[in-house]
Amino acid sequence: MSAPPPTRPPYFFTHPTFEAIFLSALGRSYQQGGDVGKVLYLSTQVADGDFDSAYAAFRQAGDEARERALTAVGRGHGESARQAFLWAQNYYDSATAFCDESSDAGRFLPTWELQHDCWMRSLPYFRPAIETVQIPYDTTTLKGFYCRGHDPGTKRRLLIMTNGSDGGLQDMWNDGAAGALARGYDVLIYDGPGQGHALWKQQLYFRHDWEKVLTPVVDFALTLPGVDERRIALQGISQGGYWMTRAVAFEKRIAATIADPGCVNVAEAWTRPLPEALLEMLRTGQKEAFDGVMGGSLAAAQKKALNFRMRPFGMTSYFDVYTEVMRYDLTDVAGTITCPMLITDPDAENFWPGQPRRLYDLLRCPKTLMRFSAADGGDGHCEPTALGLRECRMFDWLDEILA
């Protein structure tokens, strides 16, 4: 499953992955995650569809920003170091998106490690400093980060953020944590099974029943000083929109939930391109035949893109992954949710088109469907180039719900 093409004319590239990554890299500049001019320059250094040139451009930009950050550290310029580390994370993270379909997929992990190292190095330079935490989960722990509010003398609202299928920690900073902190919230972000540190360093893989992840996270959150247990909210980004919606069908200590975007059935993004003959093999359990056809019919680029999407599941069989992702369906549980929900619904939602409205219709709780339009600059999956507008609208809603 690769990124579907957008439904509007491209700004930079005709290849959907290139267009999506450049728009995301550009949008991150809203919270100091990059410089607009640098991203625009990089767009002129990359050949459309040439994964090696895209990797090289972003990798070099990451190296430059990291060197700038380290120099700032050495000279005692803490805020400059923080910003440059954020730039480096953006560029390294963007570079990883081009690894699997490049000539050397083995560059992914070393580049991810550079990105993660820059995030870790940036934490002391936030004000207040972001704290690394270990969240008990199953027989191990999940690595998380606690962004503490500015008023230690009061009980504060807490936003727990969950990422999607391929987002980095900086996505959570840009897509909600920074805006929440500015409005007086505490924020807890973490890498769940199949994400970031949990995937690469712990070999923990995706699960459809994310309530088994969220409940331990909430248990941990309630031990944090200053958290108002009556005002804990959730935000799920991309596939995190599915996971958070699923989780609050079971976890009832949540005061409000944001699904960005709304998603009912994750598998539709996977099965949409499949011909009926392959769908029938899935339905009837023909594993060997399905794997044989998929392995023999996919072009090399398609296999690389699909392998990238399969990696967080910890499976190598196409049949097993497709069968597993078909469990990611909220149809039977959405109606049991009781907390207020906000569902974003952007123009040109290309992974789960139409599903935000479907989720809204399934819900029986207090609910809001929040449209984002191309005229706002808010079109596209997770509104990548309208983070300011998105932040204002989402947090105005949440402020009113938690008032």
Task: Give residue 323's pLDDT.
Answer: 97
Domain contains 220: yes
- Residues 6 or more apart in contact with residue 56 via CB below 8 angstroms: none
| pLDDT tens-digit map of 337-388 | 999 999 999 999 999 999 999 999 999 999 999 999 999 999 999 999 999 9
**pLDDT, position 153:** 67
Higher pLDDT, 6 or 22: 22
As a whole number, the mean pLDDT across the chain is 94
Q: Which residues pair with 162 in a beta bridge?
A: 236
Same domain, 192 and 332: yes
Q: Within this chain, do residues 133 and 214 fall inside the same structural domain, yes or no? A: yes
What phi and psi values does residue 83 have, to the nearest 5 degrees?
-65, -45
Per-residue pLDDT reduced to its tens digit, 2-11:
555 555 688 9
Domain of 81 in residue numbering reads as: 16-123
Supply the pLDDT for residue 305. 85
The answer to the question of residue 317 being in a domain is yes
Q: Assign 17 to helix, strand or coil.
A: helix
pLDDT reported for residue 155: 87
| The predicted structure's pLDDT at residue 6 | 55
Residues 343 and 212 in one domain: yes
Boundary-marking domain end, from 123, 158, 179:
123
Q: What are phi and psi of 146, to 5 degrees?
A: -105, 115
Considering the domain architecture, whether residues 228 and 283 belong to the same structural domain is answered as no
Taking 80 as the threshold, does the pLDDT of residue 19 lie above it?
Answer: yes
CATH number at residue 169: 3.40.50.1820
What's residue 4's pLDDT?
Answer: 59
Q: Between β-strands 341-346 and 256-260, what pairing exists: parallel, antiparallel or unpaired?
A: parallel
Domain boundary among 61, 96, 123: 123
Judge if 61 and 181 occupy the same domain. no
Give me the torsion for CA of 228, 364, 352, 53, rounded to 10°: 0
Which of 293, 325, 357 corresponds to the end of one domain? Answer: 325
Q: Give the CATH number for residue 31.
A: 1.20.1440.110
Same domain for 48 and 141, yes or no, is no
Q: Are residues 28 and 117 in the same domain?
A: yes
pLDDT tens digits, 31-89: 999 999 999 999 999 999 999 999 999 999 999 999 999 999 999 999 999 999 999 99
7 belongs to a structural domain: no
How far is the CA of 59 from the CAs of 91, 120, 397, in angstroms?
Answer: 6, 18, 38
Residues paired with 136 in a beta bridge: 141
Residues 280 and 310 in one domain: yes
Please name the residues in contact with 33: beta carbons below 8 A apart, sequence gap of 6 or more: 86, 87, 89, 90, 170, 173, 174
DSSP code, position 265: B
pLDDT tens-digit series, residues 258-312: 999 999 999 999 999 899 999 999 999 999 999 999 988 877 778 888 988 999 9
Q: Which long-range contacts (CB under 8 A, 24 or more apart) does 50-53 make?
A: 51/98, 51/99, 51/101, 51/102, 51/103, 52/98, 52/102, 52/103
Are 176 and 240 within 8 A, CB to CB?
no
Number of domains observed in the structure of the chain: 3
Q: Are residues 169 and 241 in the same domain?
A: yes
pLDDT at 150 over 90: no
| Confidence (pLDDT) at 180 | 96
Q: Tens digit of pLDDT for each residue in 314-324?
A: 999 999 999 99
Please indicate, yes or no, whether residues 262 and 144 belong to a single structural domain of this protein: yes
Domain assignment present for 152: yes
CB 168 within 8 A of CB 115: yes
Over residues 119-134, the mean pLDDT reads 96
- Asked whether residue 81 falls in the same domain as residue 101, the answer is yes
> Does one domain contain both 152 and 192?
yes
